[in-house]
């Protein structure tokens, strides 16, 4: 995931701002694994293989 996406991403539940927590980056500085966190509703959205999963929690399982 490109870090520039943070400018346009919002929490799908409450439309709040998301914070990026990086676990792994590639050689180009793109996020391979991590989490997007919303302080407003205390939800976390995983980033796996560079793809953020922004489905609401009840649809992720």
Report domain extents, the chain: 3-60
The DSSP code for 4 is: G
> In this model, does residue 61 exceed pLDDT 90?
no
Specify the pLDDT at position 59: 86
Distances (CA, A) of 42 to 20, 37, 38, 39, 46: 13, 7, 5, 5, 13
pLDDT per position as a tens digit, 1-60:
999 999 999 999 999 999 999 999 999 999 999 999 999 999 999 999 999 999 988 887
* 53/35 Cα distance (integer angstroms): 9
């Amino acid at each position: 995931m490109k870090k520039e996406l943070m400018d346009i991403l919002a929490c799908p539940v409450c439309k709040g701002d998301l914070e990026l927590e990086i676990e792994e980056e590639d050689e180009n500085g793109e996020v391979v694994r991590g989490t997007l966190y919303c302080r407003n509703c205390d939800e976390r959205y995983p980033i796996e293989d560079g793809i953020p999963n922004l489905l609401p929690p009840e649809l992720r399982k």
